[in-house]
Amino acid sequence: MLGDNFVWGGLHNVSPLVLVVFVGLIAVAVTKKLFDFFTSTSDPFGGLKPWEPKWFAGMRFWLGARDMIHDGYEKYKGKYFQLPRNDRNILVIPREYVDELRNYPTERLSSIQALINNMVGQYSYMDVLLESNLHTRVLQSKLTPNLANFTSAMADELNYALAKALPNVTDQWSEVEIYEVLRTIVARVSARIFVGLPTCRNDEWIFSSIRYTEAATITTMLLRGLPAIFRPFVVRALPSYWNTKKWVKRGADIILPIIDQRRVSAEKPGYERPSDLLQWMIDEAKGKESDTYNLALRELVMNLASVHTTTMSTAHVLFDMCQMPEYFNIMRDEMRIVLAEDNGWQRLTPTKLRKLDSMLKESQRVSPPSLLGFHRLVQNQPITLSDGKVLPPGTHVCTASYEISRDEDILPNQEYDGLRYYKLRDDPANDKRLAFAQTDKAHMHFGHGRHACPGRFFASNEMKMILTELLLRYDFKFVDGQGRPTNINADEFLYADPSTKLLVKKRVEE
């Protein structure tokens, strides 16, 4: 009796806030333990302190992922190790096993399910991609094989986008927020291929898709900072969540009538079908995929998959060049020669920019979009690897792609070399293998295998064209006294400060 009074009397004096936090932490610990019991392996953890509960390390991962992954990679080189995340423990597999897993069918090992989990897809509309792989089928079968046919449309849109994005630049240095500039350029050039003319020139569409991408990304990052059990409650308090909804509605309001109108026009004899992602999806859709709203959502979600990734990758290349200005001349010389030989942008011109291709790959090696790659979720049946390792259903596997591409034993001479792959590709055995858009076990920043990024060949051409036009028209440098922004991480995602400013001026050709 005395004990009871003591406890309840003590609690009486505790503030409700402390009580809520206390109960919350217990709830986190218990639910995580239960969930981990079913989905974890017995492998050791990277970055875990001896005294530390995993649920706490999971919260620490949000800011400390880079050190924790590094710790695991160094300690357990060539072995399996786990990483604690707020949503689940994930299993980092040695890169040797990627070959065994890369062609598994989705019913056994799902890349999209892992991607949706990573992106907290139920709050960003990304989960529409779970319904079917219409977008991937179309990107792989219509866009990539016909990429050369779109060079001239992309060049045209780039011209338009540059004039819109940098209207007041003169031959005097002025400051620009380079991520914002690049993002509108990427969004416009992509829109030319995603929705075609005239919608790609509709600023409301462009800004709805950009704002949607931004709001969804902020929501993802904030939710990833929280234990999964709190997310459904907290999400409704996030302005970015409501903004995501708002911009999806605005975007859908623009796209829905276009889909309807295209369907009506297709009935008319002699109608020439537009050649863009939206039309390919309309034509290719089967059953539920043909639902108009579903198509509009997919169209928007393609922006989520492509705009930030392409923009940040392009920004990294520009930052690298500003840090090592000798590359400006090397790349400009190649750009001038290739464009002169081809008399402007021809079908295959982007593929001839081999030094630039190399710099894109080197830049991605050093500053990839994520510290981890090849995320896959084991489906209902366990998977047994050749060493006897059993991956139970629900296991989230991935590779330490950043550590791998910075490992001296795998890629010797780690110092930044923008021409690294240009030189390596001199050997015919490496020529195709080491192009920017190709993936292998040392370069998994576009993923790897049958589910590698289906937009990577487009991204490669788009980045080359944007950088070429920017470099030939403008000079860039860091604001006085500032250098390259350091790469920061939120969970496994890596990025440079998007508010970084660069100085830009029109080039006067010598």
Q: CB of 59 within 8 A of CB of 415?
A: no
Closest contact distance (angstroms) between CB of 264 and ligand HEM is 27
Partnered with residue 505 across adjacent β-strands are 475
The answer to the question of whether 453 is labelled as a binding residue is yes
Q: Which amino acid is at 481?
A: G
CA-based nearest residue to 165, from 468, 463, 470, 464: 470
* Residue nearest ligand HEM by beta-carbon distance: 447
Beta carbons within 10 angstroms of residue 281's beta carbon: 25
The H or E element containing residue 240 is helix 239-266
Does position 446 interact with ligand HEM (CB under 6 A)? The reply is yes
User: For residues 417, 423, 428 and 432, what is the CA-based torsion angle, rounded to 10 degrees?
Assistant: 40
Alpha helix (H) residue ranges in 108-238: 111-118, 128-131, 134-138, 151-165, 178-194, 203-224, 231-234
Interface with ligand HEM, residue 443, by CB under 6 A: no
Q: Is 305 an interacting residue with respect to ligand HEM (CB under 6 A)?
A: yes
Q: Does 111 bind ligand HEM (CB under 6 A)?
A: yes
Q: Which is nearer to ligand HEM, 462 or 475 (CB)?
A: 462
Supply 229's token pair. 């059990």
Of 66, 85, 95, 135, the one binding ligand HEM (CB under 6 A) is: 135
Task: Count the residues of the shown chain that bind ligand HEM, applying the rule CB under 6 A.
Answer: 30
Cα-based distances in Å from 388 to 43, 94, 401: 14, 14, 23
Closest to 458 measured CA to CA, from 350, 325, 344, 368? 350
User: At its nearest, how many Å lie between ligand HEM and the CB of residue 448?
Assistant: 6
Task: Please state, in angstroms and rounded to a whole number, the distance separating the CA atoms of residues 13 and 189.
Answer: 62
Give the span between the Cα atoms of 258 and 292, in whole angstroms: 10
Is the CB of residue 276 less than 8 Å from the CB of residue 194? Answer: yes
Distance of CA 495 to the CA centre of its chain: 10
Got the DSSP string for 295-337?
Answer: HHHHHHHHHHHHHHHHHHHHHHHHHHHHHSTHHHHHHHHHHHH
| Burial of residue 149, with CB atoms counted within 10 A of its CB: 0-12 exposed, 13-18 middle, 19 or more buried | exposed
Contact between 459 and ligand HEM by CB under 6 A: the answer reads: yes
CB 59 within 8 A of CB 86: yes
Q: Which of 46, 84, 447, 485 binds ligand HEM (CB under 6 A)?
A: 447
Taking CB under 6 A as the criterion, the residue among 28, 68, 112, 371 binding ligand HEM is 112
Q: Which residues pair with 502 in a beta bridge?
A: 176, 478
Q: Is 120 in the site for ligand HEM (CB under 6 A)?
A: no
User: Does residue 113 touch ligand HEM according to CB under 6 A?
Assistant: no
Determine if 458 is a binding residue for ligand HEM (CB under 6 A). Answer: yes
Binding mask of the shown chain, residues 230 to 269, with x at each position contacting ligand HEM by CB under 6 A: ----------------------------------------
**Interface with ligand HEM includes 451 (CB under 6 A)?**
yes
192 binds ligand HEM (CB under 6 A): no
Q: Pick one of 184, 213, 309, 349: the residue that binds ligand HEM (CB under 6 A).
A: 309
Measured CA to CA, the distance from residue 476 to residue 204 in angstroms comes to 29
Instruction: Specify the stretch interacting with ligand HEM by CB under 6 A; choose among 128-136, 167-175, 231-239, 248-256.
Output: 128-136
CB of 506 to ligand HEM, least distance (A): 27
- Cβ-based nearer residue to ligand HEM, 306 or 405: 306
Closest CB to ligand HEM among 169 and 356?
A: 356
219 is written with which tokens?
A: 């929501």
Which residues between 322 and 351 bind ligand HEM (CB under 6 A)? none
Out of 375, 396, 443, 464, point to the residue binding ligand HEM (CB under 6 A).
375
CA 60/CA 76 separation, integer angstroms: 20
């936090």: which residue's tokens? 21
Beta carbon of residue 150, minimum distance to ligand HEM (angstroms, whole number): 11
Q: Is 434 in the site for ligand HEM (CB under 6 A)?
A: no
454 binds ligand HEM, rule: CB under 6 A: yes
Does 139 participate in binding ligand HEM (rule CB under 6 A)?
yes
Query: How far apart (Å, rounded) are the C-alpha atoms in residues 496 and 92?
Result: 25
Stretch that binds ligand HEM, among 135-143, 167-175, 253-261, 348-356 (CB under 6 A): 135-143
Q: Is 455 in the site for ligand HEM (CB under 6 A)?
A: yes
Q: Which two tokens stand for residue 364?
A: 């991605």
Choose the binding region for ligand HEM from 91-99, 169-177, 343-351, 456-464 (rule: CB under 6 A). 456-464
Question: Considering beta carbons, is residue 84 or 373 the nearer one to ligand HEM?
Answer: 373
Instruction: Map residue 275 onto helix, strand or coil.
Output: coil
Closest distance between ligand HEM and the C-beta of residue 56, in Å?
29
Identify whether 198 is preceded by a cis peptide bond (ω within 30 of 0).
Answer: yes
Select the span of 110-118, 198-206, 242-250, 337-345 touching ligand HEM (CB under 6 A). Answer: 110-118
Asked if residue 438 binds ligand HEM (CB under 6 A), the reply is no
Measured CA to CA, the distance from residue 166 to residue 252 in angstroms comes to: 28
Please, which residue, 224 or 456, has the CB nearer to ligand HEM? Answer: 456
Among 47, 121, 369, 418, binds ligand HEM (CB under 6 A): 369
138 contacts ligand HEM (rule: CB under 6 A): no
Query: What interhelical angle do 239-266 and 292-323 show, nearest 10?
Result: 120
**Can residue 92 be called a binding residue for ligand HEM (CB under 6 A)?**
no
| Binding positions | 453
| Binding positions for heme | 453
For ligand HEM, the binding residues (CB under 6 A) are 111-112, 115, 129, 133, 135-136, 139, 302, 305-306, 309-310, 313, 369, 373-375, 445-448, 451-456, 458-459
